[in-house]
Structure 1
Amino acid sequence: MGKLKLVLEDDFKEDFQIVAIHCGAAPFKLAYYLNKYVNLRLKRRRTDLAFSKDGLEVQFPLFEFKDTVNYTVYDLVSNTCKTAKAHTTASGGLFGTQATEENITTYLVPEYKNVDYFLKITSEYDQAPINKLLSEVNKIKPVISSYHIENEQIKSKNNLIFS
């Protein structure tokens, strides 16, 4: 009798497009500029994108806009999270405890450490018109540059899957 072999493929795919944005502004300011100049209506979600990494709880600010007319969802997420980790050491004396604090920067997508924000575009259509969006984003004064990143180039794309 023949053997039945089941092959499980990693077919966990979500079709989305990613725009990398280099901008020194705070997340809420960038969301404001995108709302004003690109005609989005980004709002901060009640819960940020949070997970544990190396024993630290990291949270990335997350803004969302659901365009029901065009069946498109826009998510703006910061790529960096800065957390402080406290260390206490005992020196053995009367006043022997010394507290130090270490600032740790965690990246949502570590292979793109120089990117400040990601704009994730999920559309019911095959492709959202991204060239017009890029030209409008690049016209915003605080934005240094923005460009499209292919999904295949992102190694840690599972960090960008949130709903």
Structure 2
Amino acid sequence: MAVHKLNLDDAFDEVLYTLIGMHCTLEDYRLAYLLNKHLGIALIRTSDLDYNNGKASYSIYEWEDEKQLVTWSLVSNISKTETLQQIDYKSLFDTQQNIIKTSHLLTEYKTVNYFLKIDSEFSFSKEKYILDSILNISQIATAYSIDSSQLKSKDNLIFS
């Protein structure tokens, strides 16, 4: 019996996108407002991203530019969940303790607070213009482009 082998490597092209990492201490809604103002976009909050059966939840803001057929996504990199943990030692007082667990969407970039994912690959000059506009926001400490081909956990950036 003959064996047929299908090679699907060329069938699925990798989606091209621009990824920008941002360091800041702002709340997500405030950052979305400032990005809307400085970049001329209209990010709005959508349902949160849930990973590990609800153990980690990341806020996400999206905007679809129908004119240029580009989707902009602002997603938090940090998720903090509070759980009660039983304490083993015997005490007269409360035997439960609140533990806050921190998880990251992209573990390679634990210091990044937010990612701006633009589902289109821009020219270098357009990407530099976007970065310069973001860096002009005084509340953002720094922002830089991230090479998506080097990411180990790039599957976490698939939102839909």
TM-score, normalisation: structure 1:
0.86
Whether 2:114 is the aligned partner of 1:127: answer: no
Whether 2:111 is the aligned partner of 1:110: answer: no
For residues 148 and 137 of structure 1, what CA distance do their matches in structure 2 show?
11
Structure 1 residues 40 and 100: CA distance shift in structure 2, 3 A: same
Amino acid at match of 1:99: Q
More displaced stretch, 95-104 vs 26-35: 95-104
Report the alpha carbon displacement of residue 130 of structure 1 after superposing the two structures with TM: 1.1
Q: Which residue of 2 aligns with 1:36?
A: 37
Aligned pairs (5 A) from 1:88-99: 88-89=86-87, 98-99=95-96
Amino acid at match of 1:32: Y
For residues 116 and 143 of structure 1, what CA distance do their matches in structure 2 show?
10
Q: Which residue of 1 aligns with 2:148?
A: 151
Report the alpha carbon displacement of residue 97 of structure 1 after superposing the two structures with TM: 6.2
Q: Which residue of 2 aligns with 1:20?
A: 21
- Among candidates 74, 77, 84, match of residue 76 of structure 1: 74
For residues 149 and 90 of structure 1, what CA distance do their matches in structure 2 show?
44
Report the alpha carbon displacement of residue 52 of structure 1 after superposing the two structures with TM: 1.3
Query: What secondary structure does 1:41 align onto?
Result: coil
For residues 146 and 92 of structure 1, what CA distance do their matches in structure 2 show?
49
Task: Give unpaired runs (5+ residues) of structure 1.
Answer: none
Report the alpha carbon displacement of residue 38 of structure 1 after superposing the two structures with TM: 1.2
Report the alpha carbon displacement of residue 65 of structure 1 after superposing the two structures with TM: 0.8
Contact 1:90 1:97 in 2 (8 A): no
Query: What secondary structure does 1:152 align onto?
Result: helix
Task: Give unpaired runs (5+ residues) of structure 2.
Answer: none
Q: Which residue of 1 aligns with 2:158?
A: 161
CA offsets per residue over residues 71-120 of structure 1, 9 Å max, x none? 11100000000111211246568x68611111111000001001110000
For residues 92 and 140 of structure 1, what CA distance do their matches in structure 2 show?
52
Report the alpha carbon displacement of residue 127 of structure 1 after superposing the two structures with TM: 2.8
Contact 1:79 1:116 in 2 (8 A): yes
CA offsets per residue over residues 37-72 of structure 1, 9 Å max, x none? 111111001x1011116xx62110100011111111
CA offsets per residue over residues 9-49 of structure 1, 9 Å max, x none? 4947322110011111111110010011111111001x101
Contact 1:88 1:98 in 2 (8 A): yes
For residues 17 and 34 of structure 1, what CA distance do their matches in structure 2 show?
16
For residues 22 and 9 of structure 1, what CA distance do their matches in structure 2 show?
36
Q: Larger % of strand: which?
A: 1
Query: What secondary structure does 1:37 align onto?
Result: helix
For residues 113 and 144 of structure 1, what CA distance do their matches in structure 2 show?
15
